[in-house]
Amino acid sequence: MKIVIAPDSFKDSLSAQAVADAIASGLAEVWPHAELIKCPMADGGEGTIEALLAACNGELMSARVNGPLGQPVEAQWGWLAESRTAIIEMAMASGLQLLTLEQRDACVTSTAGTGQLILAALDAGARRIILAIGGSATNDGGSGMLAALGARFLDADHQPLPPGGLALADLARIDLSGFDPRLSDVRVEIAADVDNPLCGPNGASHIFGPQKGASPEQVIALDAALGRFADHSAHILGLDQRNSPGSGAAGGMGFAAKAYLNASFRPGVEVVADLTGLEQALIGADLVITGEGRFDAQTLRGKTPLGVARVAQRQRVPVLVLAGTLGEGYEQLYQHGISAAFALTSGPMSLEQACRDTRRLLHDRARDVARVWQLAARH
């Protein structure tokens, strides 16, 4: 019996590695001689660095950078020395996790810290940068990142603009004379699943601005400011990327990465699956078990269980999901390669208790699944 265990982290509870360990312990109780292959996963959001470093024997690095509001932040990033690949989670430097609810302000938050992490990667000799852009607190079109990399954004009086997306309303000129030349020799890959354009009703400001603290009036102003940034960018670069799918990701970071860094976009879970060797691990497997904290219709938007199922389908391996909760529409995933899904909780339980007991619940549910599988195999 060969079983691949490829879960995401359970937010506020366990890392992907810890989830895989708990599932493996439950399976081993029923199948002590089974070949259990642990392949911790992520979808480009929280836990991407941890999953990739665990799979690729990488090194955890750290850099002191500016947070979304300019505050000093010690941000971690991953380094794969053999392939000279840097793994950067935007949320570490420019994420909502760094702000209180009251501090959220989409008009002034900046991606400068993410640019500083890219500089740290360049200084380390990176030839490839994987940029996971989930969980951002920003709506500056990636201008803060570009400024950290040497671009200058000037107003009509030739003065540098202050940080934030709203300041782009006063943009008069973009100066790239100081842009870091090392970027031309680096391959940048954006790990993201958002396909929104930069501007308009489905753009960065309208769709994601409110959760970052923007009022309805500010959303309109930010959308116009990003449009002005796109106009000037098209003029200086000779190419307009504002309507390119993904340009609206992470408050327009996708736009800046595509237009100025020539970045490619891939679903985050695909990037992680490639680097962790998931498909190779699935060859000859009898079963793959994946999971996440909440399994529902939103999983169809490129989350880990869907990505694992797509790879497993190519190898004709059945997929089981263990999730903290099964939410509305989860059964839709049965049309996308998921064979069955199970919730961890067996009765009424508070969220706090569920988070506290996640390790035990995963162990118990994996054991139960193995017993059912064993029973079915006898008939």
Q: What is the mean pLDDT of the segment spanning 334-362?
A: 85
Q: What is the pLDDT of residue 349?
A: 66
Contacts of 105 (CB under 8 A, 6+ apart): 69, 164, 212, 213
**Contact assessment for residue 62 and residue 78, using Cβ atoms and an 8 Å cutoff:** no
Look at residue 192 in the predicted model and tell me its pLDDT.
Answer: 84
- Give the per-residue pLDDT at 100: 94
Long-range contacts of 155-161 (CB under 8 A, 24+ apart): none
Q: Mind listing the pLDDT tens digit for each residue in 246-285?
A: 999 999 999 999 999 999 998 889 999 998 999 999 999 9
Is the per-residue pLDDT at 379 higher than 70? Answer: no
What is the SS3 assignment for 84?
A: coil
351 Cβ partners below 8 Å, 6+ apart? none
Question: What pLDDT sits at residue 131?
Answer: 96
Which pLDDT belongs to residue 278?
96
More confident: 194 or 320: 320
In this predicted model, what pLDDT tens digit does every residue of 189-216 receive, in sequence order? 999 877 899 999 999 999 999 999 999 9
Res. 160: pLDDT tops 90 = yes
Sheet with 35-38, strands from edge to edge, namely: 35-38, 2-5, 287-295, 319-326, 340-343
d(CA 322, CA 356): 17
The answer on pLDDT for 31 being more than 90 is: yes
Residue 152 confidence (pLDDT) above 70: yes
At residue 345, the pLDDT reads 81
Q: DSSP secondary structure string, 296-325? A: SGGGGTT-HHHHHHHHHHHTT--EEEEEEE
**CA distance between the termini of the chain:** 17
pLDDT of res. 47? 82
Query: Region 19-28: what's the mean pLDDT?
Result: 97
The sheet with strand 59-66 has its strands ordered as: 59-66, 72-80, 85-89, 128-132, 187-191, 264-266
Close Cβ partners of 56 (under 8 Å, ≥ 6 residues apart) = 80, 275, 276
pLDDT reported for residue 75: 98
- The per-residue pLDDT for 203 is 95
pLDDT of residue 377: 78
Q: Which residue has the tokens 């976009």?
A: 265
Lowest average pLDDT, out of 114-123, 282-291, 356-365, goes to 356-365
- Average pLDDT of span 150-169: 98
| Mean pLDDT of all residues in 109-117 | 99
pLDDT of 374 higher than 90: no
| Domains parsed from the chain with CATH numbers | 2-40+277-378 (3.40.50.10350), 48-266 (3.90.1510.10)
Average pLDDT over residues 30-58: 89
Both tokens assigned to 62: 């750290």
* Mean local confidence (pLDDT), 73-100: 96
Return the pLDDT at 50: 87
pLDDT of 267:
87
Residue 78 φ then ψ, to 5°: -105, 150
Q: Read off the amino acid at residue 373.
A: W
Looking at residue 338, what is its pLDDT? Answer: 96
Task: Name the band, by pLDDT with cuts 50, 70 and 90, for residue 90.
Answer: very high
Q: 89 pLDDT exceeds 70?
A: yes
Q: What confidence score (pLDDT) does residue 56 get? A: 85
Phi-psi region of 135 (alpha: psi -120 to 50; beta: other; left: phi over 0): left
**Which residue carries 């940080």 as its tokens?**
163
**Residues 250 and 134: beta-carbon distance below 8 Å:** yes
